[in-house]
């Protein structure tokens, strides 16, 4: 796997990109309007540099790591936010798993979907989905 590090820094209304990695004697540069365009732009740049097909075998070995330059305070805020979102995702997955298990146990006791929904705080349609999963 060839890993390329892309440093992205705001410059006016653009993100200025500096690409470093194996096979590049010096940094390569390009720019994009939005961060969601970085990977495609860098893959195009690398394909030109290495005379490769963007969808070819060589390109499949390229791992692109984007490092936005935000400043310490803002970078810490973004990192904290991402960590909270990961935790929220984990908690949501746990809640669904526990809800599914509780719904199964309540159904085994003969309760109808509407009662299970009332007990779990979800709609009877959600109970149907929980029990189908």
Q: DSSP character for 15? A: E
Among 126, 106, 99, residue whose Cα is nearest residue 115: 106
* Stretches in the chain below the pLDDT threshold 50: none
Give the per-residue pLDDT at 95. 97
Report pTM.
0.70
Give the per-residue pLDDT at 59. 84
Give the per-residue pLDDT at 27. 96
Give the per-residue pLDDT at 70. 95
Give the per-residue pLDDT at 23. 93
Give the per-residue pLDDT at 53. 85
Give the per-residue pLDDT at 73. 96
Q: Residue holding tokens 């590090």? A: 5
Give the per-residue pLDDT at 97. 97
């Amino acid at each position: 796997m060839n890993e390329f590090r892309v440093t992205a820094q705001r410059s006016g209304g653009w993100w200025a990109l500096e690409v470093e990695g194996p096979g590049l004697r010096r940094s390569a540069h390009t720019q994009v309007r939005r961060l969601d365009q970085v990977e495609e732009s860098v893959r195009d740049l690398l394909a030109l540099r290495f005379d490769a097909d963007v969808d070819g075998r060589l390109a499949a070995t390229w791992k692109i790591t984007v490092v936005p330059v935000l400043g310490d305070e803002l970078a810490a805020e973004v990192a904290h936010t991402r960590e909270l979102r990961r935790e929220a995702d984990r908690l949501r997955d746990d809640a669904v798993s526990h809800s599914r298990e509780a719904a199964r146990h309540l159904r085994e006791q003969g309760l109808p979907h509407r009662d299970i929904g009332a007990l779990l705080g979800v709609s009877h349609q959600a109970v149907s989905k929980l029990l189908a999963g």
